[in-house]
Amino acid sequence: MKKHTCFRIRFTCIITFLLTLSMICVLSASDYDRAFIQKPINNLLIQALSPYKSAEGIEYWPLCTSKNNQPRYVSGTNPHQGTDLSINVGESIYPIYDGEVIYINKDISAQLGHIVVKSDIGYEESVYIEYLHVIPIDGIETGDYVYTSIPIATIDEYKRYDSHLHIGRVNAERALHYQLYDLFSDTARWKNGSDLDVFSHPNFNSEMNTFSITAYVSSDTENTDYYGGYGRFPMKYITFFYSVNNGTWKNFNITDYDEDFRYSFNIKDLTGAKSNDNLRYYLTATRDNNSTLDTTFKDATYTVAYYPAYYSHPSATLTKDQADIISISITIK
């Protein structure tokens, strides 16, 4: 073998090894980078309009195929940073609020046409909504003010992904994802917004010490029950992690839920906390990869969603420091 050929092979091997090593390092380090913000908007005056509707303004509510914060068995962010809506190629997409275009990517070669609209909706901070896998309408530029009654884009054709709309609420830098459900809490067709996020509508009744939260997933791969069953599948269980008066973190599982996938339980009874105790908590929802309903998830290795959502790809349990960052504090009555 010639000398320069040997050198080339050795050089390629070393570069490949270094690239692989750096990718592993980046992936493992980024698991606990922040990817989500959980900050519900209560009593929102202006409910969002659907991004998918007729030219006359009659709204449609397409199937959600992958929720925000959902553990998945497909490529892409995991848990999912945003919500996928099943809308076919060519359909017009409308902004869900009037607002200013703050980011636009018109390069559709990889099906990554992207628009972000900033809207002031009478809430304490602006709301930023992103629309991905779209072809922006001709003439739209950054800085333009757009309206809910005029389309801003159409759904792009298949290049890497099946045609769909990825919609998300992001921060100004487009790096972190908020929950979406509270923008659609009056929409029965999307179960008051619960179709859009794995966890939704948390409520702690401080008089009764009861806690309730809705948790379920949507199908994100082929499933013969998918169309008839509207793609909603229960969790295997949710887990309540808690620390009383800064003590050791403990947990218990809840498996009972009502017909709307709502879990309700008494925190005082189940934790043994006493009146005036300080209790910190967070939850996980574990997706069932042995489900006879949600059959396409069976080989997935990553199965948990967190409430509050925070980390980009956390493990099923957190260290004390990691838990301290996301936990919510309450006082037991």
Partner 1 sequence: MNKLKNIKLNIALMIIVLCVATILSSCKKSNPVTASPPITETTSEQPSTTAIIEESDYIKLDMLIQYQNGIQVLPVIYDVTSVNLKASDGYEIRLDLLLVEGIKYPTYFPRQNETLDSPLIPIPETDSLKYLLCNHHKIYLIDLSVPSIDMLLTEADEDTTYAKSLEHNQANGLYWGTKPILSDDGHYLLYLTNRRNNGKTNDIRLYDFNTKEDILLAKDSYYTDAYISDTTVFYTCKDMLMRIEISSKAKAAVSYSISSNGSFSYPYYIYTTTYYQKYEILNLLTLNVEKGSLGTENSALKILSTKTNRSNTAAFLLLDKQKITLSFVDIQHNKLIKTFVLSDSFRLVYTQWKDNNTLLVSGYEGDTNEKTYLLSY
Q: Per rule CB under 8 A, is residue 86 in the interface with partner 1? A: yes
Q: Based on CB atoms, which residue is closest to partner 1, 11 or 145?
A: 145
Binds partner 1 by CB under 8 A, chosen from 103, 112, 157, 251? 157
Beta-carbon-side half-sphere exposure of residue 212 (alpha carbons within 13 Å): 10
Query: Which is closer to partner 1, CB of 100 or CB of 277?
Result: 100
| Residues 6+ away with beta carbon under 8 Å from 24 | none
Return all residues near 333 (Cβ < 8 A) that are at least 6 apart: 206, 207, 208, 209, 268, 275
- Per CB under 8 A, the list member of 49, 134, 238, 309 interacting with partner 1 is 49
**Count of residues touching partner 1 (by CB under 8 A):** 58
Judged by CB under 8 A, does residue 289 bind partner 1? no
Closer Cβ to partner 1, 164 or 280, answer by number:
164
Q: Is 283 in the site for partner 1 (CB under 8 A)?
A: no
Q: Which of 131, 310 has the CB closer to partner 1?
A: 131
Instruction: Pick the piece of the chain touching partner 1 (CB under 8 A) from 46-54, 123-131, 256-264, 276-284.
Output: 46-54
Asked if 220 is part of the footprint of partner 1 (rule: CB under 8 A), the reply reads yes
Candidates 42, 122, 124, 290; binder of partner 1 (CB under 8 A) is 122
User: Which of residues 149, 255, 317, 331 is near partner 1 by CB under 8 A?
Assistant: 149
Q: Which residues contact 4 (CB under 8 A, 6 or more apart)?
A: none
Binder among 13, 24, 27, 90 for partner 1 (CB under 8 A): 90
Site for partner 1 in 129-148 (CB under 8 A): 135, 137-140, 144-148
150 binds partner 1 (CB under 8 A): yes
Query: Interface with partner 1 includes 68 (CB under 8 A)?
Result: no
Residue 119 near partner 1 by CB under 8 A: no
Give the nearer residue to partner 1 in terms of CB position, either 224 or 246: 224
* 15 binding partner 1? (CB under 8 A): no
- Residue 117 binds to partner 1 (criterion: CB under 8 A): no
Rounded to whole angstroms, how far apart are CA atoms 333 and 67?
A: 34
The Cα–Cα gap between 285 and 70 comes to 9
- Rule CB under 8 A: is residue 91 a binding residue for partner 1? yes
Nearer to partner 1 by Cβ, of 193 and 308: the residue is 193
Under the binding rule (CB under 8 A), the answer on residue 162 touching partner 1 is: yes
29 near partner 1 (CB under 8 A): no
Binding region for partner 1 (CB under 8 A): 2, 4, 45-46, 49-50, 54-63, 65-66, 74, 84, 86, 88-92, 98, 122, 135, 137-140, 144-151, 154, 157-158, 161-164, 186-189, 220-222, 224, 227-228
